[in-house]
Amino acid sequence: MLIIGSGLAGFTLALHLAPHKKICIVTKLTADSGASSWAQGGIAAALANDDSPQKHIHDTLIAGAGLCDENITRLVTENAADAIHWLINQGVNFTGDQDNETGYHLTQEGGHSMRRIFHSGDATGKAIQQTLIQKIRAHPNISIFENHIAIDLIISDKLAGCAATDRKRCFGAYVLDKKHDKVSTFTAQNTALATGGASKVYLYTTNPDTATGDGIAMGWRAGCQIANMEFIQFHPTCLYHPHAKSFLISEAVRGEGGLLRLPNGDRFMLQHDPRAELAPRDIVARAIDFEMKKRGLDCVYLDITHKPASFLKSHFPTIYARCLELGIDITAQPIPVVPAAHYTCGGVVTDQNGRTGLDNLYAIGETAHTGLHGANRLASNSLLECVVFAQAAAKDIVNQPAIDLPTLPDWDESRVTDADEEVVIAHNWDELRRFMWNYVGIVRTTKRLQRAQHRIALLHEEINEYYANFRVTSDLLELRNLVDSADLIVQCALRRCESRGLHYSKDYPDTLSVAENTVLTKNNLP
């Protein structure tokens, strides 16, 4: 079994399959460097006495703006308790509260009607990943290939000797060993894409540098359907500071009473939504964007100074410490914040078991489009989705019959040379992220999208020529995947002639009465 990616989805799948199969995890940096480790808020589950999966479903459907798959939403929310208990059994130390009937402190985040977020301080993802990685490294059936980046999937219709009438199958992937500059062929009965999202396509993001849309781009090139890439979630509150690259101020700060203010101290969220600071992320992000553009502001401020200092230090130790390093005492000063690209709601289309349209290929976590998030992900549903779908995929994989694996050809470098100058890659990377931020951001127009589309076409041409003539490098592969991901985002955005959820168009400000997914296949593109 080949798992590409080392976040919560990939780790959960590996641990469930390890008693049955040999597992190979490929990760392009270290095993704990993915976006899962950066998750601050927590994982949503309706376990309190006054809560229920039905209430969780209701909140998810409202946030998803009519595009959530209700059956998938029910599947996820009804399996949330099992997901939490599995994590606890692995040793994850969620923050306790003996006064709560669950035995754990539950917090509330935007879009949730109840306190249902299990968390470990304000560094939940890190706590989960550090716990699971110990089990991953100790398991004899799991091998981790760090500093390896997948290039492309190996698909049957590209191989000599595989009948054209056969269903398309995935047999593994070509993988670059970054340290030794060598490409290897990884052959596998089953392959899972678990590489996270594509938020690094934007100039400002809360994600790590690894979030370059690798799995989505590889799935697209292999022939998978891609859906709803126009729905990029911009987290409302990323710390605004010249030395605070990608530092997120958790949704839970607003959940615990944080107020958004203008530089003069005035609140503004009530003018945009009756739920104020607890409105879903798309509404809060657009409100901040509106106020910043209207008033020419560099940022707004998140103020939680009315809470006791002891409360803030115990509930938000990571945020408190990081802000203090930068000269901001959150117990006495409001936090300067701006929106930033945070989560990719679309991705590779899968069924309820994580299966893609290609046999033996699965997609889980942020890489996948399962139907759970609709037009806007509800806070803290992402880690939950990782666990539930990894568990479902593991059950499906165990029940799959073994297939005869063909002899796969080695990677062919016979017609390429070393790159003469790599400044082209750095320049294109910077150009892409800047025009995506300016033209395909929180508020869009058709003209801006068409401008982005034109520039993407030029970048595609340059990168394909570069890829064809020079040996692959990690930077080139990530840029190639980012450009493919940007293209998919723009293609989907141009097809949606309405405003819904995370996609807001000035040219189409109304929401259509019928909600439909934007599904791309290679043969339906103009």
DSSP 187-209: E-SSEEE-----GGGSSSBSS-T
Strongest mean pLDDT among 120-134, 238-252, 320-334: 320-334
Q: 29 burial class (0-12, 13-18, 19+ CB within 10 angstroms)?
A: middle
Q: What does the pLDDT read at residue 280?
A: 81
Please report, for the domain that includes residue 330, its CATH number: 3.90.700.10
Provide the β-strand partners of residue 152. Answer: 174
Taking the C-alpha atoms of residue 12 and residue 367, their distance in angstroms, rounded to an integer, is 15
Is residue 255 within 8 Å of residue 278, measured between CB atoms? yes
Residues 6+ apart with CB under 8 A from 237: 248, 249, 250, 251, 253, 254, 302, 335, 337, 338, 339
pLDDT, one tens digit per residue, over 159-182 is 766 655 467 899 999 999 999 999
Kindly state whether residue 195 falls inside one of the protein's structural domains: no
Kindly state whether residue 75 falls inside one of the protein's structural domains: no
Q: Which whole number is the average pLDDT over 86-96?
A: 94
> Apex CA 466: angle with CA 464 and CA 469, to 5°?
105
Is residue 481 within 8 Å of residue 213, measured between CB atoms? yes
Kindly state whether residue 434 falls inside one of the protein's structural domains: yes
How many Å separate Cα 399 from the centre of its chain? 28
Kindly state whether residue 51 falls inside one of the protein's structural domains: no
DSSP state of 247: -
Taking the C-alpha atoms of residue 120 and residue 93, their distance in angstroms, rounded to an integer, is 6
pLDDT, one tens digit per residue, over 337-388 is 999 999 999 999 999 999 999 999 999 999 999 999 999 999 899 999 999 9
pLDDT, one tens digit per residue, over 384-412 is 999 999 999 999 999 999 888 888 988 98
Last residue of a domain, one of 321, 341, 361: 341
Tokens of 312: 């803030």
How many Å separate Cα 349 from the centre of its chain? 14
pTM: 0.90
pLDDT band at 427 (very low <50, low <70, confident <90, very high): confident
Kindly state whether residue 110 falls inside one of the protein's structural domains: no
Tokens of 106: 């539950």
Kindly state whether residue 89 falls inside one of the protein's structural domains: no
Coil, helix or strand for 151? strand
Mean pLDDT score of the chain:
92
Last residue of a domain, one of 341, 376, 411: 341
Q: What does the pLDDT read at residue 420?
A: 67
pLDDT, one tens digit per residue, over 440-490 is 999 999 999 999 999 999 999 999 888 888 889 999 999 999 999 999 999
Half-sphere exposure of 469 (CA within 13 A, CB side): 10
Residues 351-371 as b or e (16 or more Cβ within 10 Å = b): ebbbbbbbbbbbbbbbbbbbb
Q: Which residues are identified as catalytic?
A: 281
Query: How many domains, in total, are found in the chain?
Result: 2
Last residue of a domain, one of 297, 317, 341: 341
Taking the C-alpha atoms of residue 452 and residue 487, their distance in angstroms, rounded to an integer, is 9
pLDDT, one tens digit per residue, over 12-26 is 999 999 999 999 999
Tokens of 354: 């994580």
Kindly state whether residue 258 falls inside one of the protein's structural domains: yes
Is residue 410 within 8 Å of residue 445, measured between CB atoms? no
Nearest to 516 by CA among 504, 501, 506: 501
Whether residue 337 is found in the same domain as residue 433: no
Is residue 287 within 8 Å of residue 268, measured between CB atoms? yes
Half-sphere exposure of 459 (CA within 13 A, CB side): 28
Alpha-carbon separation of residue 221 from 68, 152, 154, 508, 521 (angstroms): 26, 8, 10, 31, 10
How many Å separate Cα 417 from the centre of its chain? 34
Alpha-carbon separation of residue 484 from 35, 146, 215, 226 (angstroms): 20, 24, 11, 12
Beta strands 191-193 and 361-363: pairing type?
Answer: parallel
Residue span of the structural domain in which 519 resides: 423-524
Kindly state whether residue 433 falls inside one of the protein's structural domains: yes
pLDDT score of 257 more than 60 = yes
Please report, for the domain that includes residue 478, its CATH number: 1.20.58.100
Q: What does the pLDDT read at residue 523?
A: 72
Whether residue 240 is found in the same domain as residue 337: yes
pLDDT, one tens digit per residue, over 290-310 is 899 889 998 999 999 999 999
